[in-house]
Amino acid sequence: MNDFIYNTPTKVYFGKGKEKEIGEIIREYGYKKIMLQYGKASVIKSGLLDTIKASLNNSAIEFVEMGGVEPNPKITFVREAIAVAKREKVDMILAVGGGSVIDSCKYTALGAKADCDVWDFAMGKRKPIDAIPVACVLTHSAAGSEMSNSAVITNLELNMKKGCSTELNRLKFAVMNPELTYTLPAYQTACGVVDIMAHTMERYFTVCDDTDLTDRIAESILKAVISAGRVAVETPNDYEARATIMWASSLSHNGLTGCGRENYLAVHQLEHALSGEYDHVAHGAGLAVLFPAWAKYVYKTNVKRFAQFARRVWDIVESDDEKAAIMGIEAMSNYFKSIGMPTTLKEFNIPNVAERLADLCTYQKTRTVKSYITLDYKVIKEIFESCY
């Protein structure tokens, strides 16, 4: 087991109707003037925004609104929000939405305390040193951003989608009501399930084989999510399934599944190139295509681990490790398909641009992506090609 630091300071308020308490919770923390960020029509149509505003008003919390965060949130929007946050002197930012809105808020929070352009943080040119506190009312189970230390932002001018990881990105608190995800379409629900599984599996498939406890916790999360995912796609209003997926989204990405081993998130890096380039590709759907492709490419470097994954997560009964490993990868891919996910890049109507995507991943062949084996330009190109 490698040394590690575990830091999950985000307080979670989980359960039915919890969003109605938001004003009260914020008042307990002592914040007085907040920024409210949200996406497009859905939170307005559903009445959620009105519920939240009513709660804020009841608790005499002043707020400024920044609606219109897009999926794959954009740096241009964040820059606007930073200007507003500075001008209005807000002391906290509340995200009402899923990973995109939360990530937009995280970047806004970092930028509002910085004197440089916030894109510098995404590019690793500068390190953030302070941030306004961020909290959320979660409406989508997927990104795990509600408890993670990372945030991803897209720069359309540069065709780049970049993450920034810092402990400053940990939310102060997260309000999580599974009922708020009832209205998600099956496709988005499935995308979330894949994202949660990918966060868990990226950390599971590493070079460290001496982390039995972390292994077993990861397998638990996978088994619970696989089962709940099937139910939620079929029966959107199943509270238990929605609750399992929502709580798993946080646990898969808050650090728990990575304790004691190296974490690369290699497939995420490949997928960020894909959905950074093609804005219509949902992150989870991109992962559903790329994860099995990546796994088929790397499993030979640790057949035993892939065989364990097959047996413990997919209940594969096969004594030969190599055969079991392959069967496990197939079971994963079949599962993604069974919940309505694509299995090839063709299904996105994307031309074969493996070279272009490999270029993006490697910054024009100037770097490699860490994984079990180092993924260089050639390997990444081959993985993308195998997805057509």
Binding residues for its own copies, rule: CB under 8 A, are: 1-9, 11-16, 18, 210, 212-213, 216-217, 219-221, 223-225, 227-228, 239-240, 243-244, 247-248, 251, 256, 259-260
Phi then psi for 169, rounded to 5 degrees?
A: -80, -5
Nearer to its own copies, 242 or 381 (CB): 242
- Residue 270 CB, shortest distance to its own copies, in Å, is 28
* Residue type at position 326: I
Strands, E assignment, 134-196: 134-138, 150-155, 160-165, 173-176
Instruction: Specify whether the CB–CB gap between 189 and 286 falls below 8 A.
Output: no
Q: Which residues pair with 66 in a beta bridge?
A: 37
Residue 62 belongs to what H/E stretch? strand 62-66
Q: Sign of the C-alpha dihedral, residues 97, 147, 10, 127?
A: negative
CA atoms within 13 A on the CB side of 274: 31
Residue 189: how many CB atoms within 10 A of its CB? 25
* Nearest CA-CA partner of 37 in 158, 148, 135, 160: 135
Residue 89: how many CB atoms within 10 A of its CB? 11
d(CA 306, CA 374): 18
* Residue type at position 95: A
- Residue 181 CB, shortest distance to its own copies, in Å, is 14
Give the length of the chain: 388
**What single DSSP character describes residue 163?**
E
Residue 268 belongs to what H/E stretch? helix 266-277
Helix (H, G, I), strand (E, B) or coil at 91: coil
* Helices 266-277/283-298 angle, 10° precision: 140
- Residue 244 CB, shortest distance to its own copies, in Å, is 5
Nearer to its own copies, 5 or 41 (CB): 5
Nearer to its own copies, 7 or 301 (CB): 7
- Residue 49 CB, shortest distance to its own copies, in Å, is 23
Which tokens sit at 334? 């079949």
Nearer to its own copies, 229 or 342 (CB): 229
Nearer to its own copies, 6 or 363 (CB): 6
Nearer to its own copies, 227 or 338 (CB): 227
Nearer to its own copies, 51 or 249 (CB): 249
d(CA 46, CA 53): 13
d(CA 67, CA 48): 13
| CA geometry: angle 169, 170, 172, nearest 5 deg | 125
